[in-house]
Structure 1
Amino acid sequence: MPRHFLTEQIVHNLTCPPTREHFEVFDAQLRGLYVDALKSGRLMYRVRYRERNRYRVVTLGDARLLTLDEARQQARTVQRCVMQGGDPKLAMVQSWHEDMALSDFFWNHYLPYVRSYKRSWKTDAFIFGRHLGPLWGKRAMEAITEQDIAALIRCLRTQGYAPASCNRLLAILRYMYTLAIRWELIDASCHPAKAVRELKEDNRIERYLSAEEAHRLLAAARTSLNAQLADLVGLLLYTGARRSEALRARWCDVDRQQRLWRIPLSKSGKVRHIPLSAAALALLNRRFAARPAEEPEQGYIFANPATKRPYTSFTESWKTTCARAGLAGLRVHDLRHSFASFLVNAGHSLYEVQVLLGHANSRTTQRYAHLSRERLFNAVEAVPTIGASEPGVG
């Protein structure tokens, strides 16, 4: 069995030979500690010890989550327990329970794990750094109670935070405790966030544009000092795309022959295709014809002329344009909402709206399905006249 003075680099570069199920490399510095490289690609720290003439093994944890120093410290805890005749597995659990502070778990265990797959991990880090870390960072996870979490949610609401923001913080806490229990870093009975109820969210957006308001908005955008604003607003209205999708759009993503716009990485994490209307296609054809000849097809459709990178924000020009159009308070996302409303008012099904907006869940589409008053009046007129009301009756 190979033995090395382990380093972080040696550990992280270990792989299992293709002909074996796992491959063990022992630490020359601390007897019994080794890294187990599994065929599946996982790396686990384990410590082997001898008890009653038999070799036994305690798994310390994922080598991509634990540092080498942490693994050595935990291995020493196991060895001391064996020398004293105790149960090393129980000693490890008790040690973790006593020492696992919330900040320690978040930065050293939770965040490295979610970064590998979660696109919004930076949001998790921001929420923790803004609210949870300063308040409970040094507190042991098992010392935080359900009452503590409920009090924090109430405090955030009194400070003006929306229910959705409070629920996002609660979801992060719940997942942290779920992972800590799964990895046996805290006791399985300790899950204070589990019983805290989420706040009711009312995310229905009632603001959407009429055709006349959309016309006013585009007319105002054409007078903006931001020369790209009118086309950007037009594309959002014609396609229902998200702001980030439009800002990051590249010419190579647009098939003008097939009239399709490919979104490489949408909010759902999947590729989706947006069919282009005649108006959207004309807008893009005009921009394509006017672009500099030296601009590569991988370039952004709405690139900053100075940096050739996409704009990150157009807040000021947007606010000025909305005020000029008499639509103060209108949000960019309301253009997406208006796109859906135009479709529904034209008689298209919610399924069509769902596909065009790229919603994975049909319930999300319901918030955009607003009918105009004219369609509602037309709907009630479909009921036949049963009989004329007689004077004095009723």
Structure 2
Amino acid sequence: MPSANVKLTKRVVDGAFPKEHAYTLWDRNLAGFGLRVQPTGVKSYIAFYRIGIGRGAKQRQVTIGKSTAITCEAARREAHKFIGAARAGEDRYDAIRRAENENMSVSRIIDLWAEEAAPINRRTGKTRQKAGVLNDINRLNAHVKPLIGQRPVGALSKGDIEKLRDDITKGKTACVVKTRKFGLRQVKGGEGTAKRTISTFKSVLSFAVDRGYIVENVAVGVRLAPDNKCERFLSEEEAGRVGAVLAKWEAAERRMSGVRIIKLLLLTGARTAEIEELQWREIDFDQSFFRFNNTKSGKSIRPVCPQALAILRATPKQHEKWVFPNKKRSGPYRGTQSVWRDIRVEAGVPDVRKHDLRHSFASFGISSGLSLPIIGALLGHLRPETTQRYAHLADSQARQAAVSVGGVVESALKLS
């Protein structure tokens, strides 16, 4: 049984601020009654109890309700019911949950996931970037809810998930949705959208299993389209044309934040968000490192070349925090995509995506003799298998090396 440490009151609940990791305040007057505070700021009353006695007693932690939906005293009374029933050998949770689970809709479980689980990386436990969370939620709202949102989540089968995949692929959910006061967003289907949507929905169902809403994740094992991403690499000649356009724009002092960011993307292989959101404190000029606090793969330390550091040293300090602030100085710069669209057309490489600059960095690194593990370290890959996408480039180099070595051996043996 967890130890009590405070008397839970409205004042204590209101004053419980989020921290980097979730924590619980346990009530001093009712053992097992507590307030769970998530890193996102969500606060929920919980009840912890054991059913039976001894080491074999079953333990249970029940979420009673969010602090915004129920008062502290009402939550304490509800917790008392759970804890009192447990002392008599009964578990109210099972009966209540069975009734809830029978009728909980897919839309409801998506909403719960969006509020409680989406902001946190399931694998690392770290807070996810808001843009990625929003994209996941928008896909579920646009594709899953219209098709199966009213279905009970516990009644779904693998066949339902496969039909969902096929319907999204066929474009059955394509539409235009309102985004802002006068904004519109075109929702499209297709193979790629279906793959991303089903992958996200699989996480939703894993969340439902973790919370006890369903017994199994029926999306596991559903086949998705293979990755058909055409990874484009700049050739040296193409890189030269891009460099010429960047130099032309720089001489004209045209859209300098975007120009500097694109040059840094080419020189570091960093992700766009990592450079757009770069903070002065994350640059170690003395040791030649980026010390990112929050990337796609968590905290990351990356070596930086002298050429990139020279660009950063020459960048005017217009904000105490952001290296590249927006015009209003209210946050980081977000216009790189627009700048790149114009530059790639002028450079004659209209099919090169901004993310292909990262691939090109890896390609140039491998062509200069760097190993895959080193490339992974420069790109900030958390797992070695992520860097394996560039293995074919290393294989090509290995074949060239084999030809060279073969020639040396042939000459030494006087085979010709």
Name the TM-score, length of structure 2 as normaliser. Answer: 0.69
User: Are 2:274 and 1:237 aligned?
Assistant: no
Equivalences for 1:219-258 in 2 at 5 Å? 219-224=244-249, 225-258=254-287
Range 227-236 or range 349-358, more displaced: 227-236
Give the aligned partner of residue 259 of structure 1. Answer: 288
State the distance in 1 between where 2:383 and 2:346 align: 36
Give the aligned partner of residue 18 of structure 1. Answer: none
Cα separation, partners in 2 of 1:115 and 1:25, compared to 1, 3 Å: farther
Cα separation, partners in 2 of 1:140 and 1:258, compared to 1, 3 Å: same
Equivalences for 1:1-394 in 2 at 5 Å? 23=27, 36-37=33-34, 43-45=45-47, 60-61=62-63, 63-64=65-66, 67-68=69-70, 91-108=95-112, 111-115=115-119, 117-119=126-128, 120-159=132-171, 161=189, 165-186=193-214, 188=215, 190-203=216-229, 205=231, 207-224=232-249, 225-277=254-306, 279-287=307-315, 291=316, 295-296=318-319, 298-307=320-329, 309-369=331-391, 370=393, 376-377=399-400, 379-384=402-407, 385=410
Q: Secondary structure at the match of 1:347?
A: coil
Cα separation, partners in 2 of 1:210 and 1:131, compared to 1, 3 Å: same
1:192 deviates by: 2.5
Gapped regions of structure 2 (runs ≥ 5):
1-7, 18-24, 39-43, 52-57, 121-125, 172-187
Range 117-126 or range 40-49, more displaced: 40-49
Give the structure, 1 or 2, with the largest relative contact order (CA under 8 Å, sep 6 or more). 1
Structure 2 counterpart of 1:105, one-letter code: I
CA-atom RMSD, angstroms? Answer: 4.4
Give the aligned partner of residue 52 of structure 1. Answer: none
Task: Report if aligned partners of 1:300, 1:308 keep a CA contact under 8 Å in 2.
Answer: no
Structure 2 counterpart of 1:95, one-letter code: A
Q: Secondary structure at the match of 1:200?
A: coil
1:47 deviates by: 10
Q: How many residues align?
A: 353
1:153 deviates by: 0.7
Cα separation, partners in 2 of 1:62 and 1:272, compared to 1, 3 Å: farther
1:181 deviates by: 3.2
Cα separation, partners in 2 of 1:282 and 1:12, compared to 1, 3 Å: closer
The structure with the largest alpha-carbon Rg is 1
State the distance in 1 between where 2:310 and 2:288 align: 10
State the distance in 1 between where 2:244 and 2:170 align: 41
State the distance in 2 between where 1:58 and 1:325 align: 63
State the distance in 2 between where 1:45 and 1:360 align: 37
Structure 1 counterpart of 2:402, one-letter code: A
Gapped regions of structure 1 (runs ≥ 5):
1-5, 16-20, 27-33, 50-55, 390-394
Task: Report if aligned partners of 1:44, 1:61 keep a CA contact under 8 Å in 2.
Answer: yes
Task: Report if aligned partners of 2:261, 2:336 keep a CA contact under 8 Å in 1.
Answer: no
Range 40-49 or range 239-248, more displaced: 40-49
Give the percent of matched residue pairs that are identical in Structure 1 and Structure 2: 26
